[in-house]
Structure 1
Amino acid sequence: MTPLALEPPATEPVSLVEARLFLRLDQADEDDLLATLITAARLMIEAASGRCLINQPWRIVLDRWPSGGEIRLPLSPVGTITAARVYDLLGAPQPVAGTALALDPLADPPLIRLAGEVPEAGRDRGAIEIDIVAGYGAAADQVPAPLRQAVLRLAARWFEQRGDVASRDAQGLPAEIVALIAPYRRMRL
Structure 2
Amino acid sequence: MSFPIADWPELPAALIAEVRDFVRIDHQADDAAIDAFLRSAASLCEDFTGQMLLVRSVTDILPARQAWQKLKRLPVQSIISVELVAADGTASVLAVEDYAVDIDSEGIGWIRLRRSDGGSRIRVAYMSGLATDWEELPAGLRQGIVRMAGYFYANRDGVDAGGPPSAVTALWRPYRRMRMA
Q: TM-score w.r.t. structure 1 length?
A: 0.78
Instruction: Choose from 131, 136, 145 the match for 2:139.
Output: 145
Instruction: Choose from 78, 81, 87 the match for 1:80.
Output: 78
> Are residue 155 (structure 1) and residue 152 (structure 2) matched?
no
Q: Deviations over 1:144-187 (max 9, x none)?
A: 11111111000001111223468x85xxx532111111111112
User: RMSD in angstroms over aligned alpha carbons?
Assistant: 2.8
Percent identity between matched residues is: 22
Query: Which residues of 2 match residues 128-139 of structure 1 at below 5 A?
Result: 128-139=122-133
Name the aligned partner's letter for residue 81 of structure 2. A
- Unpaired segments of 5 or more residues in structure 2? none
Q: Find the aligned partners of 2:159 and 2:172 in 1 and give their Cα distance.
A: 19
- Unpaired segments of 5 or more residues in structure 1? none
Moved over 6 A (4+): none
Q: TM-score w.r.t. structure 2 length?
A: 0.81
- Say which is worse superposed, 26-35 or 135-144, in terms of deviation: 135-144
Q: Deviations over 1:47-84 (max 9, x none)?
A: 1111111112211111222x43x222232111111222
State the match for 1:61 in structure 2.
61
- Say which is worse superposed, 27-36 or 9-18, in terms of deviation: 9-18
Q: Find the aligned partners of 1:89 and 1:59 in 2 and give their Cα distance.
A: 18
**Using a 3 Å threshold, how does the CA distance of structure 1 residues 165 and 96 change in structure 2: closer, same or farther?**
farther
Tell me the number of residue pairs that the alignment of Structure 1 and Structure 2 aligns: 176
Contact 1:55 1:133 in 2 (8 A): yes
